[in-house]
Amino acid sequence: MDANLTRADKVLHADNRSIFQALIDGQADVMITDRIEVRLQTRLHEGVLCATMPKNFNRQEKAYLLPRDEPWRAFVDEWVGRMLAEGQLQRAIARHLGED
């Protein structure tokens, strides 16, 4: 992304949760993040923060990072697969984002 932001003053936050207050306080102009975080933060800061761009820049899959433990990994893989197949993941995301 740095290659595309050649004229911006970029400020990296060690904890990305701090950027939202910086946006609200006028200390930052924009945050580039994933759509789920944008949806959540615009809900939490309704009327103060807003989303832009109707589509994502790119598609990135999310993943779990676990300690090396094959039985645990197999269990988590099976659980995530079941949640995806049953639509539970999308319902959980919608519930946390306050969507119908």
Domain match, 53 and 75 both: no
Domain match, 2 and 46 both: yes
φ, ψ of residue 27 in degrees (nearest 5): -90, -5
- Residue 85 pLDDT > 70, yes or no? yes
- Write the DSSP assignment of the chain as a string of letters: -GGG-SSS-----SSGGGHHHHHHTTS-S-----HHHHHHHHHHTTTT-----SS-SS---------S-HHHHHHHHHHHHHHHHHTHHHHHHHHHTT--
- Residue 86 pLDDT > 90, yes or no? yes
Question: What is the structure's pLDDT at 87?
Answer: 92
In the chain, the number of structural domains is 2
Domain match, 29 and 48 both: yes
Instruction: Encode pLDDT of 48-80 as tens digits.
Output: 999 887 777 777 777 788 889 999 999 999 998
Domain match, 36 and 70 both: no
Instruction: Encode pLDDT of 28-49 as tens digits.
Output: 888 888 888 888 898 899 999 9
